[in-house]
Structure 1
Amino acid sequence: MGKVYYVSKNVGLGLLVLAATALATIIALSIAYDKERAKNRDKPEDGTSDSTGMPTPPTTPFIPKEPWDHYRLPESLVPVSYNVTLWPRLEPNADGLYIFTGHSAVVFRCVKETDLIIIHSNKLNLTTFNGHHAKLSGLGGAAVPTIQKSFLIVKTEYLVLQLRSRLAVGTSYVLHTEFLGELADDLEGFYRSEYTDDGMKRVVATSQMQATYARKAFPCFDEPAMKAVFNITIIHNSATVALSNGRDIDSVIDGVPVRVTTFEPTERMSTYLLAFIVTDFVNIQSTQNSNLLVRIWARRKAINDRQGDYALNVTGPILQFYERYYNASYPLSKSDQIALPDFNAGAMENWGLVTYRETALLYDPIMSSTGNKERVTTVISHELAHMWFGNLVTLQWWNDLWLNEGFASYVEYLGADYAEPTWKIKDQILLYDVHKVFAVDALASSHPLSRREDEVNDPAQISEMFNTISYSKILMLFITGFSSQSYLNTFAFSNTVYTDLWDHLQQAVENTPGMHLPDTVHNIMNHWTLQMGFPVVTIDTRTGSITQKHFLLDPESVVDRPSQFNYTWFVPVKWMKTGVEQQQYWLLQKTDVHSLMRVSGEDWVLANINVSGYFRVNYDLDNWDRLLSLLNTDHQVIINRAQIIDDTFNLARAKIIHTTLALRTTKYLSNEREYIPWESALRNLDYYILMFDRTEVYGALQAYLKKQIQPLFEYFKIITADWTRVPTGHTDQYNQINAVGMACSMGVEGCRELIQGWYRQWMKNPHPSPSYASIHPNLKSTVYCAAIAFGGVEEWDFAWRMFKNATLASEASRLRSAMACTKVPWLLNRYLDYTLDPTKIRKQDATSTIQYIARNVVGMPLAWNFVRAKWSYIFQYGKASFSFSNLIHAITRRFSSEFELQELKKFKEDNLHVGFGSATLALEQAIEKTTANIKWVTENKAQVLKWFTEEST
């Protein structure tokens, strides 16, 4: 149940008056506004506009001088509550625009004397009152200063009111605004999503406020620490339904043909967690303990096809798990989850109304794959984890984003494991998070987990924080165990900084009998969060010597970010000797000696067992030889085979060990049947493929991998009765995909014919999706891609028709990816052009489609030329919907020549005037990676060719 709030009599009367007048005012304004254009769309990137709406010339360079020149709000005003009424139009007006109109009244308290009101407002056409953009009143008979001047700041996205006298400290006021905004298709703020149903276009008004987009929906104090209570009213067509964070408490038909839906007041929350949706969607629902209403919303056909059933079935158990895990009841009265046709993120944890891409929430029991099912489970688990950690207790500022995302990225495995215990999904943390963050955090251009507040200011810098470091690095720090109950209880409905978390971890340590740390939690954790990177721990089993060193993928790269800890860490080392687990050891300095790690004869040492620590491990050559011998004779004795493979390949790239030592870890794979070691090996070998698939090395590499993958291919052929059954194990199903995909890529006999036969059978019977019997859902992505790669125009055009007709989002996603696999250049160029046509490829999918094309050895140079030639247009077209960092990473993955490096640098220089937005850091990382790739290829090409040639015979 929601928490009960009490307000003073004066505040209550003020809110009542505001609520009573809002509806009549907004309806009158809305009718008049219907024919108007949102005039602020073309304002300059810099400068201000005065109360006449005329922009002043931009200032260059921009030097902050006034309070409104800074991106952070002053600390003089604190919001208490909002009354917001919105009316989105789902039909275009006479100018062809989709608009929304609105009315907002924010009650705020003055906490520091000031004659300024500064509040966020972006791309809203504000009504003027006596020549000003807002009007001000007081609560409880408070005297109200008159407004001297009002103006809009485009650069910092503010509405500013200069007052003739100062606001009184401790007094509450009400700021009233009326506005018009465009319900655009830019996937941010209050926006428009479209889909087709029975040949008819349908429009959904929906929202995405994280991180800085609530200000596009109504004027607000748009910072996470500025929590308030929100009273939302939505006016909408009577044939639609309105949703928001709270449960609807009233819905009436007004004199005009619209419905007015009001919602219960929210809990005290941040603006970025707000959500409001108007749609013709339908739902399925259930009632959990304490009468909690759980609903899944989607397109009518998706619900009728039972694509929401699985999400509904797992939501209840996951919520119940978190209530026990957090020892706190779910804080709200309902839990809505909705699948949207157009949505830029994978999902968003809006409190009480979680929004998803269709692929992240909908699951078809016949047509969807095991991977689709796992994605639905883990994404739901991640978002519901935020209902407490992130929503109930929220970061103070975006520099500590990891407080939200890191913890949710960890506990999502716990929630998913509870919902689907047979999957053993916790074992996959290694692949999904650890290896992913290692790859980024090993660069000299990485960054600390927690940045200073002054390093994260403008919206682009905030967007950059949503990266692998923030989501995955902290996960490794939480694995050691964390009791969240005290932390959540102390800071419920409030905000925290990372040191608050350390305080509560310290309390947990002190209150746990027998738990001892080598230093305070603050000191230990600060070493991991306030400096970037991680160590490689080297154990010499001949002497017992142990050392730690900052691990860099390119040891010659320059780290220009200083570290107060001199790049040393408190490293907890779990280890075993000759199969027997030993007591955990703490490495506290750069060099130490541990006598028990000195071994001889047949004994061996294996450290970081179960990958419990965030570091890589290296050994003396004798111990490596003993471990590799074990892999070849009795590989199951080595419990963390996947990590040995990943460590050696990365240690080799960093020139710490010889490249051939890393390659030797793959020789045993012909006997390996488990998914996680195979997946680790294939991901690391993918680097060799990327570096050499345009050189003479590739032939020998292909022959070697064909030799290694063929036994796995034959194994699955046997246990599936010639591909007619599905492996029973969850990860076995994934490894079957690896076996078939790699076998076809490497030329294993019989694979190509198998794939082409399945695809041709489908082409002869072209239903919207292939039947269950012809291609199992688990294998569809692999089959589609390989068949299109082996085929030509006919296969591609067939896939395009099926893509356009697909009614299941995951099926459309598979086909969209597979069409990038063709080897026909003109088809790929045509496909690239499609990405900038939203009638062919949705904006939300444009980035990933270009990435898919760039994965293709034929498509990579085409994608690179396409992005270079059209960067200015792409940057504007996709400012809200494109993941520019992912785009740059994907296109440059193969770059390994001096010519490509110079092209990359020239691309940066030529487009400085355009900008790179959220790809700014990614571009620096791409230059760093390309430089490292050039060195690595130069130094290793000859020996790699020799090794693969010898081992493939």
Structure 2
Amino acid sequence: MGKGFFISKAVGVVLIIVGAGALATIIALSVVYSQEKAKNNEVSPTHATTTTTSTGTTGTTGTTTGGPTTPPSNETWDKYRLPTTLKPDHYNLTLRPHLKPDPTTQIYHFTGSSSVEFICESETDLILIHSNKLIYYNQTNGQMASLKAVDPGHNAPSIKSTFLKTETQYLVIQLDGNLMAGQRYQLHTEFIGELADDLGGFYRSEYKENGETKVVATTQMQPTDARKAFPCFDEPAMKAVFYITLIHDINTTALSNGEQASQENIVIDGETLLKTVFKPTERMSTYLLAFIVSDFGYIQNSVDGVLVRIFARKSAIDAGQGQYALNKTGPILKFFEQYYNSSYPLPKSDQIALPDFNAGAMENWGLITYRETALLYDEEYSSNSNKERIATIIAHELAHMWFGNLVTLRWWNDLWLNEGFASYVEYLGADNAEPEWKLKDLIVLNDVHRVFAIDALTSSHPLSSREEDIQRPEQISELFDAISYSKGASVLRMLSDFLTEEVFQHGLQTYLKTFQFQNAVYTDLWHHLQMAVDLTESKLNVSKIMNTWVLQMGYPVVTINTATGVVSQKHFLLDPDSEVTVKSEFNYEWIVPIKWMKTGAVQNQLWLEAKSVTIEEMKASGDAWVLANHLVAGYYRVNYDDGNWNKLLNILNTNRLLIPEINRAQLIDDAFNLARAKIVRTELALETTKYLRMETDFMPWESALDNLDFFYLMFDRSEVYGYMQDYLRNQVTPLFNYYKTITENWSKVPTGHLDQYNQVNAITLACKTGHPECITLATTWFKDWMTTEQNKIHPNLRSTVYCNAIAAGGADEWEFAWKKFQNATIAIEADKLRYALSCTKQPWLLNRYLEYTLEPKLVRKQDATSTIVYIAGNVVGQPLAWDFVRARWEYIFNQYGGGSFSFSNLINGVTKRFSTEFELQQLEQFKKDNADVGFGSGTLALDQSMERTRSNIKWLAENQENVLTWFKTEAER
């Protein structure tokens, strides 16, 4: 799955919605079913044909008429993992989505039938198959399913009883005899489900085109929502072949993983429909299934016999917004074929942009789904960062076609390997497609530095969990976080670096060839990498090294004393006084690869395999200096003795180009975080920003701004704020003037990709610190748009200009932007406006905006979480957002569960400014008050927020006076 919005590479999903709302939906579906049944006497199960209704279904058990009122307790079906007694071979699945609501209940629904053929692995009298929120048509024998033997001369036992176990999400089928080992059976079911707008399973997305509301039936199965679309063995190891048939309205297009095999008109209840049959899929996991019905348009080309198509709303296709994705898909696909030494395993690669989609994208095999902003590019509206995001997300998803789809994780505890790998090689694929952008280094800012902040908490977790610890759907959802994506990418990049890319690729290629169409665990990859290493003269032990990074949380800070040559390591914790309660078999020691420089010259790599060692080469006397973690290839921080720090600061101020750009960014990030951990003085960290008056490169500035965000969060309500503003305004003014000059008074666009990013940084910080010329620039451009209705603001600058103009303005500016947001037909432009609306300083407007987040017709469900977090990022909006979330938590959790809210992002976002005892008490009370409601995928985030708040409280108490003095002194120079 794509990295959310990055805003947020990861996405948490709550899978179970309970309470009166769920019961009402079930009852409504039962009414719909009864109405459909009464209409006709068709024989096809997908057309609502049964002999009895399922009005006996309840909100807790879903039992059929005549079945037990409450399901009996049983050790097997009370467990969340499937038993190993049955193994699916293939499914025949027919679905009919209704794109108009039922006239009586106003509920959207779909009907379906499924026949799954499975092999009995060991004798059993019980069939468990996953099912969630489906109502089953009763069969003639009064049960919810029918069973027959496939092998000639063999009979299946009769079904004794069927019922739904909603807690563990099973359809339970008890038999009056045993299924025999080695025999094949076929289970047939007929069902109805809601085509809800919850962004999970088989769901609906709505949009307006030419004044008409249109509905798309689409899917998001990962991780455990295929069971909402049809009964299935919904675990990644339960691979099977899928024969998909979709029955849909005339003038709509049906898509699925496989190629279309045939299409014909059929008449049902007097209505002419289309029946589209797809060729069978390859053997694959349920979470990679996709089926979509829409009236979208598309463009296409062919890449060495592979059909590539880009689907989107017709108006978007007609406007050429799919062309960039189409142009880049082919080169990226070819790159990965070479990288994996394996041909693309399917005949087609469909990619579709959806108006409503919770993640960034999803790697469904042969039919990749995207948010519109992650696939569609419009030169008039899209910034260079929008363009980069499209290239990297396409690369991320195409990387999965092999790593994840062809070879699939056995269980979700190894999710990090799947997502971490794609998050690493997305930079390689996008860099190949856009070589002038210099994308490879950006992994340091986007992933390494990003995840360092989370992995420095005691509430972090290892990359690989024990299989038995990840059982429930919400536990699985919690794994879709920055650790799995960004730390996974960071340590795999480190592994590739010290093995060399050639060795890494060779091991990867044999791994994929060995396990194609099967499942694997991370140690299988280690084995194949070791075989590749053994072909060289290297004596590296891959498992020994990497297990220290995979099986324990956190990372080390490596301290180098250049006076003595002593090099040591220690578990880096943001709060050094916090207690690590999770034991580690490695005692929080790592085997650390150290690439380094000495006085500007790159040295041979060293290894740190103990707590402390003496390395003579690390001694540096006189003017000599040492810089470790060259090009930030390693996943660790570096500290030095005071003398070496002073030398490095001097080099930054006198000859910064001796230090690579990526390491200048590293020095800033390490210094600020070492200061937060009380390892170095906070003043030393602030000293790293003094040279920025001379810096024009993007990465150091971005690193500084990322770290200064923490200072804004801690001090924008205190007396430090004014002096900090004065200092930073002085520091950014040369950069602001630099871009004013090279763009000829803002009339041109900088040529370099990263230069365009740094132009945005210059304007953003200048306006944020109250630079008069910058404020005038933003408000003038925005006012011109309001007056002339012609938007002349360059797409690169729109987010920051909109935000600053709205912050400086009042209700008129906000209402103008709100109107533009509501009428926006380009998703990327709508996103820029949605962010900017959160920048107003008017509390009443922010409160109104918060209320809008729970109105899907005003703010799409997919955008609700990030909008609340945007508002919380505003110093005026933060307490409003926190009160809003607290007051409505039960409603948000129960009604917006499913795929529409990322609870981890939400909790982290609204609490990141917390730094007082009172706010900590509020957090603790929030946890206590909502213990019965639950926090789903936000459970870990809540603990992290409390830990972060405690750390902030202590840091402020120890640093506020010193920080005030430093900023005051520097601002008055």
- TM exceeding 0.5: yes
1:360 maps to a residue whose letter is A
* Aligned residue in 2 for 1:557: 578
1:258 maps to a residue whose letter is L
Counterpart check, 1:170 vs 2:186: no
Contact 2:96–2:112 (8 Å) recurs in 1 = yes
Residue of structure 1 aligned with 2:64, choices 51, 62, 66: 51
Alpha-carbon shift at residue 524 of structure 1 (Å): 1.1
Counterpart check, 1:288 vs 2:300: no
Of the structure 1 ranges 895-904 and 474-483, higher mean CA displacement relative to structure 2 is found in: 474-483
Alpha-carbon shift at residue 817 of structure 1 (Å): 0.5
Instruction: Give the distance between the partners of 1:226 and 1:951, measured in 2 at CA.
Output: 63
1:179 maps to a residue whose letter is F
* Aligned residue in 1 for 2:519: 495
Instruction: Give the distance between the partners of 1:82 and 1:296, measured in 2 at CA.
Output: 28
* Aligned residue in 2 for 1:335: 349
Give per-residue Cα distances to partners, 1:53-106, cap 9 Å, x unaligned. Answer: 7774599xxxx8420000000000000000000000001113211111101000
1:849 maps to a residue whose letter is T
Contact 2:57–2:65 (8 Å) recurs in 1 = no
Contact 2:71–2:163 (8 Å) recurs in 1 = no
* Aligned residue in 2 for 1:133: 144
* Aligned residue in 2 for 1:18: none
1:485 maps to a residue whose letter is Q
Alignment: residue pair count: 914
Alpha-carbon shift at residue 255 of structure 1 (Å): 2.9
Instruction: Give the distance between the partners of 1:56 and 1:549, measured in 2 at CA.
Output: 58
Counterpart check, 1:278 vs 2:290: no
Residue of structure 2 aligned with 1:349, choices 350, 360, 363: 363
Alpha-carbon shift at residue 765 of structure 1 (Å): 2.1
Instruction: Give the distance between the partners of 1:243 and 1:55, measured in 2 at CA.
Output: 40
Q: CA distance change for structure 1 residues 610 and 851 in 2, over 3 Å: closer, same or farther?
A: same
Alpha-carbon shift at residue 52 of structure 1 (Å): 2.1
* Aligned residue in 1 for 2:28: none
Residue of structure 2 aligned with 1:775, choices 773, 793, 805: 793
Instruction: Give the distance between the partners of 1:890 and 1:53, measured in 2 at CA.
Output: 49
Residue of structure 2 aligned with 1:259, choices 249, 274, 278: 274
Contact 2:42–2:48 (8 Å) recurs in 1 = no
Instruction: Give the distance between the partners of 1:527 and 1:489, measured in 2 at CA.
Output: 27
1:469 maps to a residue whose letter is I
Counterpart check, 1:642 vs 2:653: no
Q: CA distance change for structure 1 residues 585 and 31 in 2, over 3 Å: closer, same or farther?
A: closer
2:171 maps to a residue whose letter is L
Counterpart check, 1:66 vs 2:90: no
* Aligned residue in 2 for 1:11: none
Q: CA distance change for structure 1 residues 188 and 37 in 2, over 3 Å: closer, same or farther?
A: farther
Unaligned segments of structure 1, at least 5 residues: 1-23
* Residue pairs, 1:863-942, within 5 angstroms: 863-880=881-898, 881-942=900-961
* Residue pairs, 1:472-551, within 5 angstroms: 472-479=486-493, 480-481=495-496, 482-483=504-505, 484-511=508-535, 513-517=536-540, 520-551=541-572
Contact 2:57–2:64 (8 Å) recurs in 1 = no
Residue of structure 1 aligned with 2:157, choices 145, 148, 170: 145
2:513 maps to a residue whose letter is N
Contact 1:84–1:102 (8 Å) recurs in 2 = yes
Contact 2:50–2:138 (8 Å) recurs in 1 = no
Counterpart check, 1:238 vs 2:250: yes
2:265 maps to a residue whose letter is I
Q: Which has the higher contact order (CA 8 A, sep 6+)?
A: 2
Contact 1:115–1:162 (8 Å) recurs in 2 = yes
Give per-residue Cα distances to partners, 1:799-842, cap 9 Å, x unaligned. Answer: 01101111110000000000000000000000000000011001
Instruction: Give the distance between the partners of 2:851 and 2:122, measured in 1 at CA.
Output: 54
* Aligned residue in 1 for 2:16: none
Instruction: Give the distance between the partners of 1:753 and 1:615, measured in 2 at CA.
Output: 43
Contact 1:33–1:101 (8 Å) recurs in 2 = no
* Aligned residue in 2 for 1:409: 423
1:52 maps to a residue whose letter is T
Alpha-carbon shift at residue 516 of structure 1 (Å): 3.3
Instruction: Give the distance between the partners of 1:245 and 1:685, measured in 2 at CA.
Output: 46
* Aligned residue in 2 for 1:386: 400
Q: CA distance change for structure 1 residues 815 and 589 in 2, over 3 Å: closer, same or farther?
A: same
Of the structure 1 ranges 27-36 and 254-263, higher mean CA displacement relative to structure 2 is found in: 27-36
SS in 1 for 2:349: strand
Residue of structure 2 aligned with 1:300, choices 297, 311, 314: 314
Give per-residue Cα distances to partners, 1:875-918, cap 9 Å, x unaligned. Answer: 12221210010001110111000000000100000000110000
* Aligned residue in 1 for 2:9: none
Counterpart check, 1:730 vs 2:758: no
* Aligned residue in 2 for 1:120: 130
Q: Point out 4+ residue stretches in structure 1 off by more than 6 angstroms.
A: 24-27, 33-42
Alpha-carbon shift at residue 411 of structure 1 (Å): 0.5
* Aligned residue in 2 for 1:249: 261
Of the structure 1 ranges 918-927 and 873-882, higher mean CA displacement relative to structure 2 is found in: 873-882
Counterpart check, 1:857 vs 2:875: yes
* Aligned residue in 1 for 2:96: 87
Residue of structure 2 aligned with 1:361, choices 367, 375, 381: 375
* Aligned residue in 1 for 2:15: none
Counterpart check, 1:613 vs 2:631: no
Alpha-carbon shift at residue 42 of structure 1 (Å): 6.3
Instruction: Give the distance between the partners of 1:35 and 1:758, measured in 2 at CA.
Output: 67
Contact 1:40–1:124 (8 Å) recurs in 2 = no
Q: CA distance change for structure 1 residues 627 and 428 in 2, over 3 Å: closer, same or farther?
A: same
Instruction: Give the distance between the partners of 1:525 and 1:114, measured in 2 at CA.
Output: 41
Contact 1:207–1:275 (8 Å) recurs in 2 = yes
Contact 2:409–2:418 (8 Å) recurs in 1 = yes
Alpha-carbon shift at residue 581 of structure 1 (Å): 1.2
Identity of aligned residues (%): 61
Q: CA distance change for structure 1 residues 569 and 562 in 2, over 3 Å: closer, same or farther?
A: same
Counterpart check, 1:160 vs 2:141: no
Alpha-carbon shift at residue 718 of structure 1 (Å): 0.3
* Residue pairs, 1:450-849, within 5 angstroms: 450-479=464-493, 480-481=495-496, 482-483=504-505, 484-511=508-535, 513-517=536-540, 520-639=541-660, 640-766=663-789, 770=791, 774-849=792-867
Instruction: Give the distance between the partners of 2:410 and 2:41, measured in 1 at CA.
Output: 36
2:516 maps to a residue whose letter is A
Give per-residue Cα distances to partners, 1:132-172, cap 9 Å, x unaligned. Answer: 11000111222211111111101000011111111111111
Alpha-carbon shift at residue 239 of structure 1 (Å): 1.0
Alpha-carbon shift at residue 475 of structure 1 (Å): 1.6
2:545 maps to a residue whose letter is I
Alpha-carbon shift at residue 612 of structure 1 (Å): 0.8
Instruction: Give the distance between the partners of 1:262 and 1:474, measured in 2 at CA.
Output: 39
* Aligned residue in 1 for 2:26: none
Instruction: Give the distance between the partners of 1:701 and 1:72, measured in 2 at CA.
Output: 54
Contact 1:35–1:93 (8 Å) recurs in 2 = no
Instruction: Give the distance between the partners of 2:750 and 2:757, measured in 1 at CA.
Output: 9
SS in 1 for 2:772: coil
SS in 2 for 1:166: strand
2:608 maps to a residue whose letter is L
* Aligned residue in 1 for 2:86: 77
Instruction: Give the distance between the partners of 1:215 and 1:421, measured in 2 at CA.
Output: 42
Alpha-carbon shift at residue 472 of structure 1 (Å): 1.2
* Aligned residue in 1 for 2:10: none
2:90 maps to a residue whose letter is S
* Aligned residue in 1 for 2:6: none
Contact 1:38–1:182 (8 Å) recurs in 2 = no
Alpha-carbon shift at residue 577 of structure 1 (Å): 1.0
1:335 maps to a residue whose letter is S
SS in 1 for 2:440: helix
Q: C-alpha root-mean-square deviation of aligned residues, in Å?
A: 1.6
* Aligned residue in 2 for 1:322: 336
Alpha-carbon shift at residue 515 of structure 1 (Å): 2.7
Instruction: Give the distance between the partners of 1:714 and 1:601, measured in 2 at CA.
Output: 38
Residue of structure 1 aligned with 2:112, choices 98, 102, 106: 102
SS in 2 for 1:451: coil
Instruction: Give the distance between the partners of 2:703 and 2:377, measured in 1 at CA.
Output: 27
